Amino acid sequence: VMNVITIEDYKSTYWPKLDSAIDQLLTQSPGDYIPISYEQIYSCVYKCVCQQHSEQMYSDLIKKITNHLERVSKELQASPPDLYIERFNIALGQYMGALQSIVPLFIYMNKFYIETKLNRDLKDDLIKLFTDHVAEKHIYNLMPLLLEAQSTPFQITPSTMANIVKGLYTLRPEWVQMAPALFSKFIPNILPPAVESELQEYAAQDQKLQRELMQNGFTR
């Protein structure tokens, strides 16, 4: 028989454990080993769900992650332009990496509260938080820098560019309209098919790119 968990128990014992585990997951670097017991956290969540603390736990989780993302956004705002793209890429990668651990830990809450009572999904909710609190606030600074970097070879690595463009597309597909040519380089089939009458224009763009490469020291 499971002991009764009062709201006081939840606040003083159960949530603090979850809180510190979430902290570690949100701030770890890729490849870090985190000394948290997944089993302990998993069972903590399970007990709280069984004892009807799902609503409180969901609210605490959303508040916790929102506060974290607001800090991330402020740090990005303070970044100099030459480090901005790289830092946005790290923030996006770190958060998406953290979700791969956070979402499974809260699987019981997702199944018995978010999906059944709210008709939503935890992963979607947490991705939306990043869109609202980070990406949305930075997209108008980020886009011109990405376009500039794309036209300057070696300014940022192709993998960084690919990560960010694919990430932005996942967060909000309509952002494609801000820079269709850029998105189409990394995401198949988002531009309408080539029309014969535009082939000359494509050829001209191609020649312009080759000229720029040659001016930057590339030989054909």
Question: Average pLDDT of the chain?
Answer: 89
pLDDT value of residue 87: 96
DSSP states of 145-159: HHHHHHTSTTSS-HH
Give the chain's domains with CATH numbers. Answer: 5-213 (1.20.1310.10)
pLDDT in tens, 121-160: 999 999 999 999 999 999 999 999 999 998 887 788 889 9
AA identity, residue 18 = L
Average pLDDT on 189-212 reads: 68
pLDDT value of residue 220: 42
Average pLDDT on 41-70 reads: 96
pLDDT in tens, 162-179: 999 999 999 999 999 988
Burial of 96 by CB count in 10 Å (0-12 exposed, 13-18 middle, 19+ buried)?
middle
pLDDT value of residue 215: 75
- 166 in helix, strand or coil? helix
pLDDT in tens, 99-114: 999 999 999 999 999 9
pLDDT value of residue 143: 92
Q: What is the pTM of this model?
A: 0.82
Average pLDDT on 208-214 reads: 69
